[in-house]
Structure 1
């Protein structure tokens, strides 16, 4: 028995699970492990300091897996925006056929990638944005619920509603993102009309994730209440692990009389967040985590995790079938 969804067919994968792009986490070690286990591993383009560094990482990943893998390219506000077009061109030049896009004004990059025949999975937090992305010709929509890590949008729509709205409104296939950690979640997403799931935080707590083990243990020991929403005041809401720095940033956000972003900027620095994954101090800087941390209780290999998810999803589906019996007339 194997999965046969629009996602597995189009991407050439065995299990309908995508490892979402994660800043400072989406390196070749993790992406290749997920792909080798039957899912879709994804490199994070902007984790690499230059387009040429991304080229090297793609080539490295190709030596570590013969299975399909993709690249995430997220477009977010920045004082000095990266050269997104140059990153996209490297993706095209290196023959990558699957790209996860997200963020603001993705039209030019999506157009550039689509001209090269790239399969696009675009992340959205509302149905309105999903419909706009569909008009750009994306192949799959990754519907990102409010439970997710990182940028949650400004509308606070949880996946149970968002996925059902997607099923009702969207004309192209979609996958579910935010709040998924096991096969029961995969089965639920499929039942709601999705073609698969996207997982980020769950893959951080795996053997192959290239982050300090202390952070993996912090995820395992956390509860679903151990995240916080920061930067809502500036309409850039992010879900972060609720450590000391996150709480300090929240206090400034709530109490600032000026509303100047510069007051909170040192606390939400990406450079400090990067060091968390290297030095293993979960309080050194801010780092993203979804509410799904409450469902994560171990640190398996990607192979063991995806095998377990596949088994659980089949069990959940069979259980649901057993609840229905044909009435005798």
Structure 2
């Protein structure tokens, strides 16, 4: 077993957290991740209302007696969700682990802290991580440029960002972005992280509700098959490279740039939902990390977690063999 400060705090057997994915992180999937020994995360905004989230939490709890959390992401939106309502519903249902992300989570952090919750906040820069720590976040999730979804605007890869986190942060942190195998887990631990975080790798598992066609598409993809949209709008998001995301990029590159209204019809969230439901990878934009190039199969969550753990342990033990006592070394 690999034990870290965060496996103890989060009460998980393996230092792995499943990314909270929109239209994917439903109860049966989240429960499968938690039952496998990692930390499953429900996505609050996948549920249409706070009351629907209550039901999802109850369904998850029927399927697992292991810890799981809830993600609440605050991003620019035409119709602002009831963030406070989702938070209240989850807390009242007994959830005590929350992952927050996005803009100005201060009010949520205050509310969660007042209810003795553990708060994980996703950050894409050291300065944002330091600010989150100052606001009382318990655990920082450090997202490198390779991650699916929103990587920030600094374009710093995980290798440097995680090493900088080790230099600057006093609170424990999670490594996120580009991690999909045991090598990534071992590397994250070497860089000072106490847990690895992955969404795209869990997306491609048996229990994931994504259509099998999407899982097959991920398996056949390479690290070249993602692209950033919203770059010119300073809200970059890494998604799978398809005809829709390429059209978004083309519009953004037009002379004079683009407004959100120019691309809104292409990036509608319901179209992304159809990707997972219908299995058509061209139906809309859908998040995917560059780690798609590392994914070669569709295991169960249990098989995946056990494999990641075993691979990381083997690599850590193998690295120890590289050490040579000075008295035994050939000079």
Which TM-score band (shorter chain)?
A: over 0.9
Q: How does 1:51-130 map to 2 (within 5 A)?
A: 51-130=50-129
Q: How does 1:83-232 map to 2 (within 5 A)?
A: 83-232=82-231
Query: 1:290-310 deviations in whole A, cap 9, x for unaligned?
Result: 000000000000000000011
Q: What residue number does 1:288 align with?
A: 287
Contact kept? 2:2, 2:313, Cα under 8 Å: no
Query: 1:51-94 deviations in whole A, cap 9, x for unaligned?
Result: 00000000000000010000001011112211111111011101
Secondary structure of the equivalent of 1:240?
A: strand
Query: 1:188-239 deviations in whole A, cap 9, x for unaligned?
Result: 1001100010000000000000110000011000000000010111111100
The alpha-carbon deviation at position 29 of structure 1 amounts to 1.5
Secondary structure of the equivalent of 2:232?
A: helix
Contact kept? 2:35, 2:302, Cα under 8 Å: yes
Q: What residue number does 1:254 align with?
A: 253
The alpha-carbon deviation at position 261 of structure 1 amounts to 1.6
The alpha-carbon deviation at position 259 of structure 1 amounts to 2.5
The answer for unaligned runs of 5 or more in structure 1 is none
Q: What residue number does 1:35 align with?
A: 34
* Deviant stretches of 4+, over 3 Å: none
Contact kept? 2:251, 2:257, Cα under 8 Å: no
Distance in 2 between residues matched to 1:136 and 1:233, nearest whole Å:
30
Query: 1:103-156 deviations in whole A, cap 9, x for unaligned?
Result: 000000011011100101110000000000001111110000000001111110
Distance in 2 between residues matched to 1:16 and 1:258, nearest whole Å:
43
**Structure 1 vs Structure 2 CA RMSD:** 0.9
| TM-score where L is the length of structure 2 | 0.98
The alpha-carbon deviation at position 8 of structure 1 amounts to 0.4
Distance in 1 between residues matched to 2:22 and 2:41, nearest whole Å:
11
The alpha-carbon deviation at position 260 of structure 1 amounts to 2.2
The answer for unaligned runs of 5 or more in structure 2 is none
Q: What residue number does 1:13 align with?
A: 12
Distance in 2 between residues matched to 1:170 and 1:288, nearest whole Å:
28
Classify 1:18/1:258 alpha carbon distance in 2 versus 1 (closer, same or farther; 3 Å).
closer
Secondary structure of the equivalent of 1:101?
A: strand
Secondary structure of the equivalent of 1:323?
A: coil
Distance in 1 between residues matched to 2:35 and 2:199, nearest whole Å:
17
Distance in 2 between residues matched to 1:121 and 1:47, nearest whole Å:
19
Is residue 273 of structure 1 aligned with residue 272 of structure 2?
A: yes
Q: What residue number does 1:317 align with?
A: 316
| TM-score where L is the length of structure 1 | 0.98
